[in-house]
Structure 1
Amino acid sequence: MTVKTAATIATEEIVLEKPALNDGAKMWELVNDSTLDLNSPYKYLMMCEYFSETCVVAKENENLAGFITAFIPPERKDVIFVWQVGVDESYRGKGIASRMLKELFSREACKDVRYLEATVTPSNTASKALFTRFALKEDAKCFITPCFPADLFPGDDHESELTYRIGPLK
C-alpha cells in the first residue's frame, strides 16, 4: 500500500477534462461546502450529461479540484455563457480557474465562440478578478453592464448580478 504525503500530492498533475455523469454529485458537494450559490443536484447532473462539451472538470486523481459549467445559448452561437466556476478551497490560488477557461476555449464546441459572458455579483471579488484577468490575457475588451437587479430575486439576501461580456476573442 502506498501512502501519499502532502509533498507527493502537491506534485501530482491536475487533469482538465469533460465531466462524466458521476462528476455531478462531486460538483454539487464542492459548491455545498463553499460560499457559491448552490443549485440543485439535478442541475449539476444535467450539465454533465447534456452540456459536457462546454463544461470542464479539474481533477487530481479522482479528487475534484474544480469545475466550470457553461453553455452556448441556442440563439447566440458566438457566445459561451459561464454559469458557475468552482474551485475547491485546498486548490485555490493555483491558477486552476484560468486553466479551465483556457481549456474551454480550446474545445471544438467553442470554435465559433467569440464572446464569453457571465453574471457576477459586485461582492464576488474572485470572479471579477478571474474574468478581468482573462480579458487582459486574451487582449479582449471586458464590458460590465447591469443584468438582474436584486429585487428580481426572492428574499432579501441576493445581490444584483452584473454581466461581464468579454470579446471579441480570437
Structure 2
Amino acid sequence: MPDFSFRNPVAEDAQAIHDLIAACPPLDTNSLYCNLLQCTHFAETCVLAERDGEISGWISGYRLVHDPEAMFVWQVAVHERARGQGLGVAMLNALFQFPAVFDAVRLVTTVTPSNRGSRKMFANFARQQGLDLEIRPCFDRERHLGGAHESEELISIGPLDTASLTF
C-alpha cells in the first residue's frame, strides 16, 4: 500500500471532508456544520488519511454514551484515487491506535445490505485481526427511515484487544 499518514482532523479540514463525502456516493452527505462538529467535538474518534498533502480518506465515529466499550464507526469515505489499496482497513487500524479509542472492546457500525464495499472492508478488518463479525437487523426502512432510505444492519466486530491487534 502506498504511504499514507493518519491523524485526527482539525476544524480547518471540515470543508475538504465535506467535499470528499460528496464525491463518494452513495454516502449520505451531512451538513458542513455536522462535519465541522466531527472535526472538533469528535476529532479524537475520527481519522483522516493523507498522501502527498491531499486528503485520501476519512472515518467519522464516536464512543457510544450508553455503551462506552463500543466504538461506533459512522462513515468511511475513500477518495476515488485511493480505492482498491486497502486504505479503509488501514484507517480502521489507525483509528484503534488513537488514545480515545484504544480501550474499545467492540467496533460497531450500520451498513445497508447493498453497500458491498463497506461490508467487504469491515469483513476484511475482522478477518485480518482474527475477530468475530456479527450482523443483525438494526434500522428498518419503513419503521425507522420513513421509506426514504434502505434498511441498515448492525455490524459488530470483536472482542477487540488493541494490545494484540496487528497493524
Three-state SS of the structure 2 residue aligned to 1:80 is strand
How does 1:99-110 map onto structure 2 within 5 Å? Answer: 99-110=90-101
Cα displacement string for residues 129-170 of structure 1 (whole angstroms, at most 9, x for unaligned residues): 01111111111111101000011223x441100000001012
Aligned residue number for residue 5 of structure 1:
none
Identity across matched positions, percent: 36
Residue 23 of structure 1: how far off its partner (Å): 1.0
Cα displacement string for residues 57-102 of structure 1 (whole angstroms, at most 9, x for unaligned residues): 0012331101000100122111000000000011101111111100
Deviates most, 31-40 or 113-122:
31-40
Separation in 2 of the partners of 1:138 and 1:108? 19
Residue 32 (str. 1) matches residue 22 (str. 2): yes
CA contact (8 A) 2:62 2:72 kept: yes
Where does the alignment leave 5 or more consecutive residues of structure 1 unmatched?
Answer: 1-9
Separation in 2 of the partners of 1:62 and 1:41? 21
Equivalences, count: 159
The counterpart of 2:57, out of the listed 47, 59, 66, is 66
The counterpart of 1:153, out of the listed 125, 128, 145, is 145
Aligned residue number for residue 117 of structure 2:
126
CA contact (8 A) 1:77 1:112 kept: no
| Structure 1 residue ranges, 4+ long, deviating more than 4 angstroms after superposition | none
Amino acid across the alignment from 1:150: R
Residue 15 of structure 1: how far off its partner (Å): 1.1
Residue 107 of structure 1: how far off its partner (Å): 1.3
Aligned residue number for residue 4 of structure 1:
none
The structure with the largest alpha-carbon Rg is 1
Three-state SS of the structure 2 residue aligned to 1:147 is strand
Aligned residue number for residue 55 of structure 1:
46
Separation in 1 of the partners of 2:151 and 2:102? 31
Amino acid across the alignment from 2:24: S
Aligned residue number for residue 115 of structure 1:
106
Aligned residue number for residue 81 of structure 2:
90
Separation in 1 of the partners of 2:92 and 2:148? 29
Aligned residue number for residue 6 of structure 1:
none
Three-state SS of the structure 1 residue aligned to 2:6 is strand
Where does the alignment leave 5 or more consecutive residues of structure 2 unmatched?
Answer: 162-167
Separation in 2 of the partners of 1:62 and 1:42? 23
